[in-house]
């Protein structure tokens, strides 16, 4: 049984997925499996995942997709990455694991850094880091593109709440903390994430959305029901008319090839 199960929800991620999978393949820590939970991509996402030795399952929107991947996982530690992140160092997994063990954490995340040279992007991500660190012990926050959690804790909170339509990641870690599972933000490494969402939706628009959702969660609880904002998962479709669908699982593979 692998120590880690790395779970990646996808939808048309042929551009970004190879970068992430290559950075996983370069890790010094090797005791893992990779599961791609795909939400009916019509590009080469599934083909790329299989070529790297990942197992492919059906997926959905990010929360449900992570749950579907977790259902197929065999590892003691579940790691949720999004397809547009990149591990910054060959020692990322090993160092994060040592820090989780040393601090006796049940779930964790990392600081974030943008894969961008723009000062505004760095400022926005540092503002998020500062807020997340300031609220680490009282109101945990974790971006869905980087969450480590022990399997028993994931099962203990029954996974991601699939009724939550936005900030399901923060809802997930806050419910875990309320259950008594120990959360922490790892200091070993930040994780690199693309700024495509900022570029697509606009930096001010994204900032205002996150502020709105945070205020909503603090006052009336997690956002359920209809999505209040336009949202499109993943990358560009190869077929603009395609719709989300669950396709048959791809060829299995326990680890990425050497």
Q: Is residue 112 part of a domain?
A: yes
Residue 236 CB: number of other CB atoms within 10 A? 11
Domain extent for 202: 4-224
CATH code, 184: 3.90.550.10
- Per run of 10 residues, the mean pLDDT along the chain (length 258 residues) is 96 97 97 97 97 96 96 97 97 98 98 96 96 97 97 98 93 98 98 94 90 91 80 72 37 35
Distance (Å) of CA 138 to CA 32, 84, 130, 181, 182: 32, 29, 14, 13, 12
Q: Is residue 137 part of a domain?
A: yes
Q: Is residue 29 part of a domain?
A: yes
Q: Is residue 176 part of a domain?
A: yes
Q: Is residue 247 part of a domain?
A: no
pLDDT for residue 229: 72
Q: Is residue 141 part of a domain?
A: yes
Q: Is residue 208 part of a domain?
A: yes
Nearest-CA neighbor of 148 among 72, 68, 69, 93?
93
DSSP-assigned letter for residue 109: E
pLDDT for residue 226: 75
pLDDT for residue 125: 97
Give the Cα separation of 57 and 68 in Å (integer).
Answer: 7
Give the Cα separation of 40 and 32 in Å (integer).
Answer: 25
Q: What tokens does 20 get?
A: 């992430």
Q: Is residue 254 part of a domain?
A: no
Domain count, the chain: 1
pLDDT for residue 240: 54
């Amino acid at each position: 049984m692998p120590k880690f199960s790395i779970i990646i929800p996808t939808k048309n991620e042929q551009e970004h997925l190879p970068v992430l999978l290559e950075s996983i393949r370069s890790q010094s820590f090797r005791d893992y499996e990779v599961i791609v939970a795909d939400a009916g991509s019509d590009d080469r996402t599934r083909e790329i995942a299989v070529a790297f030795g990942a197992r492919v399952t059906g997926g959905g929107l990010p929360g449900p997709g992570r749950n579907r991947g977790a259902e197929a996982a065999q590892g003691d530690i579940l790691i949720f990455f999004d397809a547009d992140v990149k591990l910054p160092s060959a020692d990322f997994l090993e160092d994060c694991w040592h820090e989780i063990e040393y601090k006796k954490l049940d779930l964790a995340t990392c600081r974030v850094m943008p894969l961008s040279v723009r000062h505004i992007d760095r400022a926005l991500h540092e503002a998020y880091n500062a807020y997340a660190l300031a609220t680490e012990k009282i109101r945990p926050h974790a971006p869905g593109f980087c969450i480590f959690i022990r399997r028993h804790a994931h099962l203990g909170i029954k996974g991601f709440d699939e009724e939550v339509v936005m900030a399901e990641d923060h809802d997930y870690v806050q419910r875990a903390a309320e259950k008594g599972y120990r959360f922490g933000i790892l200091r070993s490494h930040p994780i690199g994430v693309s700024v495509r969402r900022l570029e697509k939706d606009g930096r001010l628009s994204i900032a205002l959305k996150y502020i709105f959702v945070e205020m909503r969660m603090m006052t009336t609880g997690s956002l359920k029901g209809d999505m209040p904002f336009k949202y499109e998962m993943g990358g560009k479709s190869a077929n603009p008319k395609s719709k989300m669908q669950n396709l048959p699982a791809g060829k299995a593979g326990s680890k990425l090839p050497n």
